[in-house]
Structure 1
Amino acid sequence: MIADEAYDALIQGFQTGSWESFFDLFDDEVDVILPAPQTGHFTGVEGREKLVGFFSVFTPGTSRFDKVEVISRTVAEDRVVFEDWARGVIFNEPYAARHCIHVMVRNGKVVGFHEYNRPLD
């Protein structure tokens, strides 16, 4: 399933800093909601550009996930919602957060990616 591939490639991107396999799963136009620091809702070509720009800054030298645990995975027609928590380092600072990642698929490509998160105590 393309949504599962996208989620796996997302986590792998944080492990390796290689994002191409993640970006390759997306259509040319994407509906995107991103967390800070690029908080916002972006659509179309701009949505894909914001997605690529947002994730490209996470490199292995400054950011990584040491542990990710999927809490739930919900499938509804053309969309999958992943809930997880992750711990690691983001921009050389300790990181612990819970994520809700909503992936929408159409015609074999990811056309929607909404990410929400909150820090873990």
Structure 2
Amino acid sequence: MNTDDVVNRFLQRVGEQDADGIADLFDEEIDWYVPGNEALPWTGRRSKRSEVPHYFHAMWPAFSPGKSVVEVEAVLVDGDHAAVFAHFSHVVHVTGRPFSTPSVFHIVVRDGKIVKMHLYEDTAAVSDAFMNRP
């Protein structure tokens, strides 16, 4: 699979909330980085494919069901590199607070597997929605 194919499968599986299927797209050794408040269990670095499902299993239940909107605005591919420009809107389940953030995934694919995934978003907006009750 080329970069475009892998990224499209990644986005499809994210939409299906298929954490194990997403992990299957990753190489065994990875460079994963999601910056943010360390109190949120899905932030930080990961280096193994086996760690990928935990990210999604920790994050998805934190959002109120039926109150999330993810819009993919563009996917740009240049060789092994892809940039996915998106916009996330969620409501945090425990606080009831909404947040919205533009986001970019930087994905690198080698030999048909994702070897790098870095997410860039408004970490202050995310943290504020989780840490502060209305």
- Partners of 2:105 and 2:56 lie apart in 1 by 14
Which moved further from structure 2: 108-117 or 82-91?
A: 82-91
| Structure 1 residue identity aligned to 2:24 | D
Residues 60-96 of structure 1: CA deviation (Å, up to 9, x unaligned): 5x42563222222211101110011021234444231
Higher helix proportion (structure 1 or 2): 2
Cα deviation, residue 8, structure 1: 2.3
Residue 23 (1) aligns with residue 23 (2): yes
Alignment coverage as a number of residue pairs? 112
- The answer to whether the 8 A contact 1:66-1:88 is kept is yes
The answer for the alignment partner of 1:12 in structure 2 is 16
The answer for the alignment partner of 1:80 in structure 2 is 82
Higher strand proportion (structure 1 or 2): 1
The answer for the alignment partner of 1:104 in structure 2 is 108
Partner of 2:7: helix, strand, or coil?
helix
| Structure 2 residue identity aligned to 1:12 | E
Q: TM-score, normalised by structure 2?
A: 0.68
The answer for the alignment partner of 1:58 in structure 2 is 59
- The answer to whether the 8 A contact 2:20-2:53 is kept is no
Structure 1 unaligned spans of 5+: none
Structure 2 unaligned spans of 5+: 127-134
Q: Which of 91, 111, 117 pairs up with 2:121?
A: 117
Q: TM-score, normalised by structure 1?
A: 0.75
| Structure 2 residue identity aligned to 1:86 | F
Percent of aligned positions that are identical? 24
Instruction: Calculate the aligned-residue CA RMSD, in Å.
Output: 2.4
